[in-house]
Amino acid sequence: MTIFPGIVSAGAPLRAFVLIGFVSLSAQLFADVRMPDIFSDHMVLAKSAKVPVWGKADPGEDVAVTLAKQTVRTKAGADGKWRVDLDLKNATQGPFEMTVQGKNKVVIGDVVVGEVWLAGGQSNMELTMKRLVKSPEEVARSANPMLRQFEVQKRPAPEPKDECKGFWSVAGPGTTADLGAVGYYFGKALQRDLKVPVGIIKDCWGGTAVEPWTSAAAIATVPELATEAQSRRDLAGVKITALEAWMKKTGREDHPTTDIAAFTTGPATPENGWVSVKSSGEASAPGLPKYGAIWFRKDVSISAEQAASPHVLEFAPVATFDRVYWNGTLVWETTCRNFSGDKSVRRCFIPPSLMHEGKNSLAVRIFSPVEPPGFSWPPQLSTVILAGDWLAKPEFELPPLDKTTPPAPKLIPLNAVAGDLFNGMIHPVIPYAITGAIWYQGETNASRAYAYRTAFPLLIKDWRQHWQQGDFPFYFCQLANFRPKKTAPGESDWAELREAQLMTLSVPNTGQAVLIDVGETADIHPQNKEATGERLAKIALARTYGKPVAFANPLYKSMKIEGGKIRLSFTNVEGGLVAKELPATQILKTQDGSSAPLVRNSPNSQVEGFAICGEDRKWVWADAKIDGDTVLVWSDSVPSPVAARYAWADNPTCNLYNKADLPASPFRTDDFPGITAQPSPTHVTGSR
């Protein structure tokens, strides 16, 4: 992006005002026309008749937006906000240059027109390509100027925000490692088949429930959700106040230095009190206190090519509060008021305007009133792991905690509060024109699976109402198999969550990617994100783009009792049902190569994964065989069956597919009360 006189130049996709919230804007800068970060170099705009573009300027300022030989004019309102709608339904792919002219002129380069999808959810949607064992080969061959991803920086907010920090990345060997893996493979499949630019808006956060991604107004319409949400919000506020009071009472308040430059860019030598520490674990060295404020420094060498691009700094502090400075400028801050969890991963964005070729100074200030400071693993700048020794220096020391000190109140992560992620991460990108949304989430809601039957459809309805694009496509992932296998059939909160997801197919224009065969016993983050992205893409190609692609999983339709057997009928058989051969081993964890023998529950059965019960509701493993487009299920120990279940477990052994090689969705024919039917205690933290 080039910004002409009247606005500070960033010289690249991220503008100077990316640091809103950290650095106050001057009155002069506010007067200049400006836009949110999602309108920046390399962006993908939807090929649509209504493509909103918006920003801020002086109240009453004339603003003109030009793209693809089209100019639309407007005037900023009394609040300084402005918006225009472009008609791009007949636009070519580009690339184009967008100009926004007010009192100043903003130019955004390398703009393409195509398909835009929002990728939301928790950690399995957030997981980046560099976390996949087999990704190096894919990253090396990933150059694709028509596949792009915008990442929204993580920030909860108690009120709806107009802006968020983020930047667009073009897929390629230098960037793909930091892209969300599911979104990458989904976008790659679409781009391969449609031959048009594809943009993915990555808007997700590990360990989060569905309620924080839903607006507070929508939550308020469901009494049981509203009651829990208000309780959690009130409790979060109480905890913040209590911790601040505790720090004041015990003399453990923070009082940051005014000489920031001395710690961030000044000489870092032993003569100046700096000592060497490891890049992970508790910081320990002579002269370093266990509690207080400690600065960590590392010089980072950047090439000219690297300096021209935005970067993500990823780190997980072993303490509660932190500040990050790049070349002396504050780029991240965690306080009581935006706390997102002990040792939670921070992903802060560093714009090219703060980077330069050669040596750059990275400084992290960790304030530790309760826990000793350090990093739980080496910080990483995009694909560069900042391992090795760092330098550390205390700013001030707090006295040791002892038995006479009352325990510190534990904060509630604000990303667990209903509405706060919608406010800070979804609202800022509305009404950016999207084709649809893909979603991978539910692990954190498993203990409240029955409530998910209401909460998940509510989110879909809520997003659609806010975007004002009608019932746009919303395609989601059903939870993959996870946790140790059970030797006997029984109840499962993960199975109940999958059932809630399956029930959401009743919402118009939704689709479900079944992942019951791609999970890992000992890893909640299965590595096979390629299959996940491809299955989502098949749904989109067929449902949204009308391509002749088999996309639907076998779904339970009905049952009929025939003597001592149950006959089950299905939809979406796609040429017929198939009992796929089971492997001899199960994957425990791909990352460490561990596996174990796969023990069959019904070793003589053609189809594995069925259980059956009689009036006593005692479940036993069943034999099953395919009979045309139906499945017959029986057990010699249940002469009068009343119900059957398939793949009803956290990590079931199952092998029913259709001829399109898509697995059948787990299901049950009964409606017996589930183990999550009663509300569980207020849930604060969940799976990553």
pLDDT digits (tens, 9 = 90+) for 275-321: 999 999 899 899 899 999 999 999 999 999 889 889 999 999 988 89
pLDDT at residue 372 greater than cutoff 80: yes
What per-residue confidence (pLDDT) applies to 237?
94
For residue range 79-101, list pLDDT tens digits in order.
999 999 999 999 999 999 999 99
* Phi (first) and psi of residue 590, to 5 degrees: -60, -35
Separation of alpha carbons 389 and 278, rounded Å: 5
Average pLDDT in the chain? 92
CA nearest to 482, candidates 599, 605, 586, 603: 586
Separation of alpha carbons 673 and 176, rounded Å: 45
Print the SS3 string covering 162-195. CCCCEEEEEECCCCHHHCEHHHHHHHHHHHHHHC
pLDDT at residue 22 greater than cutoff 60: no
For residue range 336-371, list pLDDT tens digits in order.
888 888 778 899 999 999 999 999 999 999 999 999
pLDDT at residue 49 greater than cutoff 80: yes
- Compute CA distances 541 → 150, 280, 544, 630, whole Å: 22, 44, 6, 28
Q: Say what the pTM is.
A: 0.93
First vs last C-alpha separation in the chain:
35
* Phi (first) and psi of residue 193, to 5 degrees: -85, -35
* Phi (first) and psi of residue 578, to 5 degrees: -135, 140
Residue ranges, comma separated, of all CATH 2.60.120.260 domains in the chain are 251-397
Q: Are strands 510-513 and 474-477 parallel, antiparallel or unpaired?
A: parallel
In the DSSP assignment, the letter for residue 444 is: G
Q: Do 327 and 361 form a contact (C-beta atoms < 8 A)?
A: yes
| Percentages of the chain per state (helix, strand, coil), in multiples of 5 | 25, 30, 45
* Phi (first) and psi of residue 243, to 5 degrees: -70, -40
Task: Please name the residue ranges forming H helices in 399-552.
Answer: 420-421, 449-467, 493-503, 529-543
List b or e across 488-499, with b for residues whose CB sees 16 or more CB atoms inside 10 angstroms.
ebeebbbbbbbb
Dihedral of CA 183/186/192/195: which sign?
A: negative
Comparing 455 with 387, the larger pLDDT belongs to 455
CA nearest to 664, candidates 630, 634, 619: 630
CA nearest to 102, candidates 35, 11, 19, 12: 35
What per-residue confidence (pLDDT) applies to 642?
98
What superfamily does domain 251-397 belong to in CATH?
Galactose-binding domain-like (2.60.120.260)
CATH 2.60.40.10 fits 2-204, yes or no: yes
Separation of alpha carbons 366 and 343, rounded Å: 12
Residue ranges, comma separated, of all CATH 2.60.40.10 domains in the chain are 2-204
In the DSSP assignment, the letter for residue 34 is: B
For residue range 596-619, list pLDDT tens digits in order.
999 999 999 999 999 999 999 999
Band of pLDDT at residue 473, cut at 50, 70 and 90: very high
What per-residue confidence (pLDDT) applies to 577?
98
